[in-house]
Structure 1
Amino acid sequence: MCQMCEEPERAEEQYLIEVLDRIREYGWCVQGVRGPGSRPPWAYTAGLTVRGLPELAVTGLSLHEAAYVLNAGAEHILHTGPPEPGEQWLLPRLPALEVVKLSAPATHLHIAVCCYGTGIEAMQLVYADPAGRFPWSPQYNFGLGGQPVLGVRRA
C-alpha cells in the first residue's frame, strides 16, 4: 500500500501538499505501493512531468531498492533527456535496465495523476536478473517471475 493508503485518516489533499513540497525541494519524489495480496510491489516518480520528462516506474523491488533505481534513472534522464522505449542502460551499481513505455500510466501512478492529470507519460525501468536475463526470457529469475512489465516491450 502507499503511504496515503496506510494513513487513511490523513486527507488526500494534505498528502498531496507534502508530495508537492518534496517535488519543489528535490525535483521529484518516489511513491511506493505494496502490491495487494500476492502481487509484487511497484514504485514510481512524481515530478519529472514538470521538467518535460516521463515519470519512471519499477516493479518487484522493495521500496528502498526501487527508490535507488528510480533516483538513478531520474538523474540519468535529467542529463540525457527523455528516454526512448527499448533503450538499454548500464548505470553504476545497477543491473542492466531496459526502458518500456507504460501502456496505461494512470492505472499505476495515482499520485502523479493527482498532481499532473491523466495525460502523463511514464516509462518502466525493467531490470535484468543476476544472470543478465530480462522478464521476457522464460529463464528470467529461474522462471519464478516477480517483475511484472506494465507495457509492451519494443524489441
Structure 2
Amino acid sequence: MCWHCDNPGKSREDYLTEAVRPMIRKFGWMIQTVERGLGVPELAYTVGLTDVGLPELVVTGLVEQEAGSILNYYAQQAVRSKVPEPGEVLPATAGMPALEVVPLDAPTALLFTAVDLYGGDIRALQLVYEDESGKFPWDTQFRSGTVRQPVLGIRRRG
C-alpha cells in the first residue's frame, strides 16, 4: 500500500519529512512509483540524485521490483562513476535488458516528488528497455504491441 493510504490525514510535507528525506539520507536516493492501477507502475523514478548534481532516472511500464532493480543499479553507477548520456545504449548486464537513454522533455510535469524537493530545476533521463527480442519501443515489432512502454522524451539516435 502507499504511504498516503497508510497515513490518512497526513500532508504531502509530512510524506517528504517522514519518508522521502530519511530514505535519501540513508541511501542517497529513493524510488518513487506512480501506479496506473492493478499494482503496475505507469512510471518509476529516482528522487535524490539531484542532490549530487545528477539527473534523476526514470523507467516506465515495469512492475515495482523490476523498475527498482534497474533504477537502483544505474543510480549507483551514476553516483560512483558515470552518468549515462542521452542516446547512449547501455548493454544488457546483471540480468537486465539493454537500455537506451532518452532525456525527458518535461520532467517537472511527471516527477512530482522530485519537484516538491528541488523545485523546477531538475533534469531526468529515461532508461528505455528492449523487449525479449531485442526490440525497443520505436521498433515496429516491439512486443507486438502487448505491453506499453511510454517514451517520455525525444530519442537522440537515428
In the superposition, the TM-score normalised over structure 2's length comes to: 0.89
Please name the residue that 2:76 is paired with.
75
Q: Is the 8 A contact 1:49 1:116 kept in 2?
A: yes
Match of 1:114 in 2: 116
| Counterpart code for 1:19 | V
Write out the 4+ residue segments of structure 1 that deviate beyond 4 Å after TM superposition: 5-8
* Residue 32 of structure 2 is aligned to residue 31 of structure 1: yes
Alpha-carbon distance between aligned partners in 1 of 2:103 and 2:109, rounded to the nearest angstrom: 13
Kept in 2, the 8 Å contact 1:2–1:34? The answer is: no
Name structure 1 gaps, 5 residues minimum. Answer: none
TM-score by length of 1: 0.91
Query: What CA distance in whole angstroms lies between the structure 2 residues aligned with 1:43 and 1:102?
Result: 13
Asked whether the equivalents of residues 41 and 64 of structure 2 are also in contact (C-alpha less than 8 Å), the reply is no
Conserved? CA contact 2:35–2:42, under 8 Å = yes
C-alpha displacement of 1:5: 6.8
8 Å Cα contact 2:126-2:152 kept in structure 1:
yes
Query: Size of the alignment, in residue pairs?
Result: 154
Aligned to 1:144: 146
| Worse-matched range after superposition: 4-13 or 64-73 | 4-13
Cα distance change on mapping 1:129 and 1:11 into 2, 3 Å: same
- Which ranges in structure 2 are unaligned for 5 or more consecutive residues? none
Q: Distance in 2 between matches of 1:106 and 1:26?
A: 23
- Cα-to-partner distance string for 1:13-53 (whole Å, 9 max, x where unaligned): 1100120110001000000110269x961100000001111
Give, as a single letter, the amino acid of the residue that structure 1 aligns with 2:80.
H
The corresponding residue for 2:16 is: 16
Instruction: Verify the 8 A CA contact 1:135 1:145 in the aligned structure 2.
Output: no
Distance 1:8 1:120, change over 3 A: farther
Describe the shift of the 1:80–1:143 C-alpha distance in structure 2 as closer, same or farther (beyond 3 A).
Answer: same
Equivalent in the alignment of 1:104: 106
Task: Work out the CA distance in 2 between the residues paired with 1:57 and 1:136.
Answer: 17
Separation (CA, whole Å) in 2 of partners of 1:69 and 1:32: 13
Q: Secondary structure of 1:72's partner?
A: helix
C-alpha displacement of 1:83: 2.0
